[in-house]
Amino acid sequence: MNIDLTYWYLFPVGLVIATLAMSAGISGANFWIPVYLICVKLDPLLTFWLALITMIFGFGSGVVRNIHQGTVNWYLVRQYLIPTIPGAVIGSLLTFYVNGEVLVFIFGSFIFIYGNFLLKSSISSPKAPVKHNKIFWGLGFAAGFLKGLIATGLGKLIVPGMWNHEKVSHSSEVIGSAVVIIFIVNVVAAMTRMNHDFVSVLMENSETLSSVLVFVIPSVVVGGQIGPSVIKDVNADHLKVYISLILIFVSLLIFSRLWL
């Protein structure tokens, strides 16, 4: 069997993306969507689905690593799956009625706004953390909805509410729990998109998809093991600045693609 080397560069790119996503506890779609749109030049709807599939492998690896090192809070995982899963189903079903380029614009706008908000809040005068026992159900549903619609938004919306939960003992536990939630909701969102028409599109593009995934899958599996180790001893405030800068950079890539 001959391997098409056209997309060989996705292996080193995937290592970096998976490590960043796992260490920040945010969706790898933030990075894969611009790669698939700009470099591989896939159709937007196909891009969002492939980003979800890619994250299933990467975050699946991250789940194993976080469970092994004990950085998963199963209480928070169970609570946030309740609103995020139905939200993801509804968002995924709506993708069949929205233009692909509109979804790309919504994606870019969301991560740009959120990135700036997070950066501003991270560098402002720090407030004393107040412990709470709340589960933000409405925010969880919105997070799941965005995951289904534009393959991202889940980690960004639920992680802030988890930082100071009274059951969390370390920031790495927040990230580890978010990784598990994102993995499960990714599976739900990807499966919900699999109607007859979309499966036909996948079959038509099967050669390109297989050529991409042969390099992407091993890279995100390896990166999923590296990322959790990176985050284990990172300061929470520094991590928020790190996440916000990455998101702003990715949003600029998306807007440059739309403008061009």
Question: Cβ(41)–Cβ(171) under 8 Å?
Answer: no
Report the distance separating Cα 149 and Cα 139, nearest Å.
Answer: 15
Q: Which residues pair with 165 in a beta bridge?
A: 132
* Nearest Cα residue to 147 out of 62, 57, 51, 72: 51
pLDDT higher than 90, residue 249 = no
Q: What pLDDT is stored for residue 128 in this prediction?
A: 66
Q: What pLDDT is stored for residue 28 in this prediction?
A: 76
Would you kindly state where each structural domain of the chain is located, as residue ranges?
Answer: 7-259
Give the position of tokens 């409405």: 138
Report the distance separating Cα 4 and Cα 215, nearest Å.
Answer: 10
Averaged pLDDT score across all residues of the chain: 86
pTM: 0.85
Of the spans 37-41, 99-103, 139-143, which averages the highest pLDDT?
139-143
Neighbours of 239 (CB within 10 A): 21
* Nearest Cα residue to 235 out of 170, 157, 178: 170
What are the structure tokens assigned to 10, written together? Answer: 């996705």
